Structure 1
Amino acid sequence: MSTMDGTVVERKVPLPGRWLRGFAEVQVLTAAFEPRAEIPAAGAAAFLRRLPGGTDRSVLWAVPAGRTLRLTSRPVPGAVCLAGAGRLAALRGLLRHADTLRVYGPSVRAGSPPCRAPGCWTPGRCGCR
């Protein structure tokens, strides 16, 4: 690829087998996910600010509550497992380019154990304004 700054050549490199297995596992685990919430970017930003710090590895559950999400320590129907909430801090910078935050997760019942696949959090309708 050439740009005005110079030329870059991408070289193929072999991927470790564990990476390939990981990619396949993600596809299998998320196939059963269902939409759980879609909240406006402003509400999502406020929710992300309320999350515990980056080193907190506690398991929480995010429950849709109107136009936002609330945290609970116990699973309830419609909740999404949130293990290590600090990992969502990476979304803060992306939300300024998004209109919504969409949350997907597997079905849970009251008393469900923490999920192997905690959920999928994606900014919606990203683009320039």
Structure 2
Amino acid sequence: MLFGKGANIDIAPLKRYLSKSRLKGVLVAARLTCSVDWMRVLFRFLSAMMLSFAVVAGVIDTIQSFASSDVILTPALAVWISVNPNSFNAAESTVEGLDPAGRAAEVFNWTLAQPAFAVFLAVALLLWMIGYQRVKPAGRFAA
């Protein structure tokens, strides 16, 4: 494990320096541990990005709805095709190849038929739930 909790970092040069200096008793531990769980940070960052995309999509839909005096909801499929049609074609062929019965393709098509802001909000919620760090029940400073 390179960057996760409990990642070992070689501090032998630092120990040699401290053993020669006045701070000999300062460094007691034989290793340093990295306190940041990078996967949770990654999922929280991706969640924030999806949340910002949802807000932008919602604002665009709101502006278009006010301008036309009618409710306009842009489907996620239209957003995806306008951003990168090649990746949509690749994802569609992958989903069709994974499930020959077609159930996964039905779920895929149903999801992409929903409004873009709702799909982005759902993905943001799922990513946030994956990256959520529970608070310890005993408290922050309990041993």
TM-score normalised according to structure 2 size:
0.23
Greater per-residue helix proportion: 2
Q: What TM-score results when the alignment is normalised by the length of structure 1? A: 0.25
Using CA pairs under 8 Å that are at least 6 residues apart, name the structure with larger relative contact order, 1 or 2. Answer: 2
Decide which structure has greater strand share.
1
